[in-house]
A = this chain, B = another copy of it.
Amino acid sequence: MSYSTDPRAARSREAILVAARRLLASEGPGAVTHQRVSQEAGVGRATVYRHWPRSEQLLLDVMDGADLPLFKDPETPVRPWLHRQLRQMADDLMPPAVAGLSLTLMQSALWDPEIARRRDESNKVIRERIHAAIRSAVAARELESDADPADLTAMLVGPIVYRTAMQREAVSDGLIDRLLDGVGTWRR
């Protein structure tokens, strides 16, 4: 994406993103409105609309700022690495602001094609990274598995999301171990 190079526009953009991040962290996604953000950022309301006509897009860009390197660059042995990644994900999702943001975006995606597109992209990245990790484990004879990539993701990530966002309890290491056992037969 290329934005205007005008330093005035860049300044506004930054101020708005900072304000949106602060509001999100302190009061949750519901507080990230054009009005609140413009006040917090010391910027005209119309300016926020100019940069982000829909507030979900603003939320998406706030999220992009904290872009996750999750499941990137698998290490061998794969199993402990995957365990660490899932642990990390569970911890990242625990704060209400983050859990709320995820739920908000998932919900917006149900009715907004643009958000749906970006959700699908995100899903694809995660799915491919997890698939790559599993493939490398299989190649190193660390694991025997023939599961579908999308199924793998659902089986590993689904329970973590469910536990943190819906059951609102901590993800134990034991649960992560069980999830990993579910993807196939591990050796060593």
Which residues in A have some Cβ–Cβ distance to B below 8 Å? Answer: 28-30, 96, 99-100, 103-104, 106-107, 109-111, 116, 119-120, 123, 147-148, 150-151, 153-155, 157-163, 165-169, 172, 174-175, 178-179, 181-182
- CB of A106, distance to nearest CB on chain B (Å): 6
Chain A interface mostly = helix
- How far apart sit A111 and B168, CA to CA, in the bound complex (Å)? 12
A151 (CB) vs chain B CBs: closest residue: B175
Q: Are B103 and A103 in contact (CB-based, < 8 A)?
A: yes
Q: Which residues of B contact A150 (CB under 8 A)?
A: 163, 167, 169
- Interface CB pairs A-B, < 8 A, 14: A28-B110, A28-B111, A100-B110, A103-B106, A103-B110, A106-B166, A110-B168, A119-B166, A151-B172, A154-B163, A155-B175, A155-B178, A158-B163, A181-B182
Q: Which residues of B contact A148 (CB under 8 A)?
A: 174-175
A155 (CB) vs chain B CBs: closest residue: B159
Q: Are A154 and B182 in contact (CB-based, < 8 A)?
A: no
- CB of A125, distance to nearest CB on chain B (Å): 13
- How far apart sit A119 and B168, CA to CA, in the bound complex (Å)? 10
- CB of A158, distance to nearest CB on chain B (Å): 3
A100-B111, A110-B96 as given contacts; A166 in contact with B161, CB under 8 Å: yes
Which among B120, B151, B178 is the interface contact of A151 at CB below 8 angstroms? B178
Q: Are A123 and B30 in contact (CB-based, < 8 A)?
A: no
